[in-house]
Amino acid sequence: MIEESMTLPDNIIEKLRKQHLFENLSIEDIKSAITRFEEIHILTGELAFRKGERYHKGIYFLLSGEILLTHPNTHIQVACHNCPVGLSTFLGKTMYTMNAIAQSDCDLLFVHELCIYRLMELSDDFRSKLIKDIQIRLTHLDNSSNAFLMQSVYQTVSGVMSSPVITIQTGKSVVEAANIMKEHKISSLLVVNRKQIVKGLLTSNDLTRKFLVDLENNIKNQDVENYMDTEPVTFPPEFPIVEALNELQITGKTHGVVMQNSKPAGIVSIHNISTMLFENSHLYCAHIDSMTSLDELKQVFKQIYRVARTLATSSRVSREELTALSSIHRAIHKKAFQLTSDAFKAEKNFKLTDYSYCYLLLGAGARREMDLRPQINNAFILADDMPDTAEKHFKEFAAKYHENLVDIGYYPHNSNDDVMTVNLVLKYSKWLEEIDGWSSKGSKSNKKYALPMLIDVAALEGDIKLAWSIRNYVLKKAADRPAILTALVKQYPAIKIPVSQFGSFIVEKEGKYEGMFNLKTQALSYIVNITRLLSIYAGITDMGTIERIEHLERKKIVSEELATQAIIAFDTITETLINEQVNQAANNQEVTSYISPASLSLFYQEKLKRALQFATIYTSYGVKFLNEI
């Protein structure tokens, strides 16, 4: 099991100092630098990490026992004794290229990468030895070229920071700070005293959320030190931007300070980092838009896993990967729609744009939470004045479009027939009838999904007003009859996470998915569904699950702790899902939502168990809340 501590024990420090990396570091230096760590005990045959698994964000130091690094498809093997493990991936920030298998019972110390960078900044001896060890390890792994080293070093914060740093002295007013920001077109200022010692960081968000929120009282006390962040996030210049983004998101801050030799060297913002990291996905969408055949889209779909694997190296937060992947899926849907529409026009002499309609993405597509192989979940809203003959053509088009999406590679929806695209072509008034029917007490509507699902809508083609009118109608119905939500909760299956009371995973006992469980239906759907219903109750119009959870916290419907747990669970589950789907696609296996927990490293098994437990707590709270309406 994994044991977490806050203070590095003296006996661990003594073991570290026997390793050549730490031999010239004092006990005080090691204690001050290593503040984020985990003591790990693994048994013979267990994995510290697995090939294809995402970087664990740090280095393992082997304190006792033996670890063997192996590659399943080669004869490469590297034995590790009393040394660090995971060096090449620490450099590359991607995925592990080897399996790390315990050859005997092992004790390891996992040190977070931020602490490794502190040690590198603290000691030139540690830095030079670590770099040399990485080079030696790469040679052992039969990949020692300088090209590999250069490609593995991702962009650092020094390459994206704004410099020189613009400062303001303590004692100055927030009005002066705002004018300086306006003059330099920046969103943050470093606050220093007369000796130029850093005292804090002031951002435009601080001005809005701390000063302007209570202007009447704060106008009498305008000193910047009253509104600045006194403990800003700091990074060394060589810190990777993907990790900086993660640190900022975890701490809930928008800016960080780059420090070199204990002096400020620059400022990084979450906005600039995110823009840089995901600009390539937008270029990829533009490439899709230039395609001229469904066969080309089919080939793109088959290669999405490569994009996902690239995104995994550019983000440490899975929700951003889902957003980027969803943009690509949306681009494929739109292009397939255009190509199908052009072919339909040529065959039937019928032009869709001659009529008022709206083509919708429902569910994960609308929330921008699509994984590698999402289900088809689409709908059409037709204007009430559309002639019957045109409505018939739209239904024919929808059937053909659905067929093309399946041919490209998308899963048909696995529920009953009434959620197939062809049966979701309805006139506007008919949609309202369906919603009214479900909203009525004791209704037997054959589209029971309509009320909650129509909150997750995105208009890809046609008149967006039709989509938003339907969505607002649903929210109004729920506001008028909140008991509807209680009835909806009872439609969902009982919460049964795939972890037993003894802490072991519950998996399929036989059949195609023996030894596996479905991460979507047995974990992720609980968080998504209960968040959606709570959002309907609260009248929240945010689309993404994370944004909804954060808004529910602001409305005091869920506590800060519960919201944090839910977000951690969501990120962990989706990260595991995407990672497994990438591995499935790379190995020419069917891409599904099933995973084999036994194939995960101990690190990821424990991480996933905690996420599943968080999901249960959050979902149980939501069910109880809605049942008490």
Q: Considering the chain, what is the average pLDDT of its residues?
A: 84
- How far, in Å, CA of 379 to CA of 435, rounded? 15
- In which band, very low, low, confident or very high, does the pLDDT at 151 lie, cut at 50, 70 and 90? very low
Residue 258's DSSP bridge partners are 235, 266
CATH 2.60.120.10 fits 2-152, yes or no: yes
Q: Give domain 291-481's CATH number out of 3.40.50.300, 3.30.930.10, 3.40.50.2000, 3.30.460.10.
A: 3.30.460.10
**Domain 159-273, CATH homologous superfamily name and number:** CBS-domain (3.10.580.10)
Task: Determine the Cα–Cα distance for residues 445 and 430; give it in Å rounded to an integer.
Answer: 12
| pLDDT score of 342 | 95
Give tens-digit pLDDT for 24-80: 999 999 998 999 999 999 999 999 998 878 888 899 999 999 999 988 777 778 888
| pLDDT exceeds 80 at position 448 | no
User: What's the rounded Cα separation, in Å, for the pair 86 and 104?
Assistant: 18
Identify the three-state secondary structure at position 33: helix
Of the pLDDT bands very low, low, confident and very high (cuts 50, 70, 90), residue 127 is confident
| 405, 336 Cβ separation under 8 angstroms | yes
Task: State mean pLDDT over 513-532.
Answer: 92
The secondary structure of residue 130, as a DSSP letter, is H
Architecture of domain 482-629: Up-down Bundle (1.20)
> Which is higher by pLDDT, 491 or 381?
381
Angle at alpha carbon of residue 96, lines to 92 and 97, rounded to 5°: 100
Q: CA 354, CA 394: separation in Å to the nearest integer?
A: 12
CA distance 231 to 165: 17
Residues in contact with 309: Cβ distance below 8 Å, sequence separation at least 6, in sequence order: 95, 582, 586
| Closest listed residue to residue 200, CA positions, set 167, 176, 222, 175 | 167
Residue 420 has pLDDT above 50, yes or no: no
The 10s digit of each residue's pLDDT in 196-242 is 889 999 999 888 888 888 888 888 889 999 999 999 999 888 787 76
pLDDT at position 246 is 72
- H-state helical runs in 155-293: 174-184, 204-206, 215-218, 241-251, 270-289
Burial category of 148 from C-beta neighbours within 10 Å (exposed 0-12, middle 13-18, buried 19 and up) = middle
Q: How far apart are CA 305 and CA 40, in angstroms?
A: 32
Per-domain residue ranges for the chain?
2-152, 159-273, 291-481, 482-629
